[in-house]
Structure 1
Amino acid sequence: MKDFEADNSIVKGYAELLDSLSSSMKLDLIAKLSDSIKSDLKSEKSLFQKSFGAFESKKSAEEIITEIRSSRMTNRLVDQF
C-alpha cells in the first residue's frame, strides 16, 4: 500500500506543478507523453516478436551437429549384473 501512496503523492506533485502551465503547453505535454508511451509499447512488442524465429548461423546443419556431438562428455558407468 505504501508504493501506491508514494506513487499517488508523486502524481499529485506533478499535477500541482503542471497547474501553472497554459492549456496549449499542457496539450503539447499530453501529446509528447502519448508518443512516449506508444514508442515504449512498440519496443516491447518488437522485443517479444524477436524472441521467436529460426536459429541463424553461417555453419551448415552438419557442422552444427558435429560440433554438438564432439562437445558431449559422458562418464556413464554401466553396472554389471
Structure 2
Amino acid sequence: MTHAERHIVETYSGLFEGLSAVSKLELLERLVKSIKKGKKSKEKEFFSSFGAFASERPAEEIAKEIRESRKFRKRDLKL
C-alpha cells in the first residue's frame, strides 16, 4: 500500500467512526461488491481479447492474401 493510499484509508476510517453499526455493514457490503465487480470486469476484459478477429475464411487463405499483396520496390542506393 502506498503512502497516499494509507492516508486515504486513515481519513475514511476516521469518518466511519461516527456511523452506526448498520451503516458500517452496508458500507462493507458495497465495498465487497465493488471488489468483486472489479475482478470480474478484469477477467471479462482479458477473455474478450481472444478471437477479436472474426472471419469466415481460413487462416491460410488470409495469410496467402497478405503475402500476395506485399509490394517490394527495387531501388539502387547511390553511395
TM-score by length of 1: 0.69
Deviation at 1:65, TM superposition (A): 4.8
Distance 1:31 1:69 in 2: 56
Deviation at 1:19, TM superposition (A): 0.7
Q: Considering only aligned residues, what root-mean-square deviation do their CA atoms show, in Å?
A: 2.5
Summarize the alignment of residues 14-33 of structure 1 with structure 2, pairs less than 5 Å apart.
Answer: 14-33=12-31
Deviation at 1:67, TM superposition (A): 4.5
Deviation at 1:52, TM superposition (A): 2.3
Aligned to 2:43: 45
Summarize the alignment of residues 1-81 of structure 1 with structure 2, pairs less than 5 Å apart.
Answer: 4-53=2-51, 55-57=53-55, 60-61=57-58, 62=61, 64-65=62-63, 67-76=65-74
3-state DSSP class of the match of 1:40? helix
Unaligned runs of 5+ in 2: none
Unaligned runs of 5+ in 1: none
Once the two structures are aligned, what percentage of the paired residues are identical?
41
3-state DSSP class of the match of 2:24? helix
Number of equivalent positions: 73
Mark the CA change 1:54 to 1:11 in structure 2 (over 3 Å): closer, same or farther.
closer
Deviation at 1:17, TM superposition (A): 0.7
Q: 2:41 corresponds to which letter in structure 1?
A: S
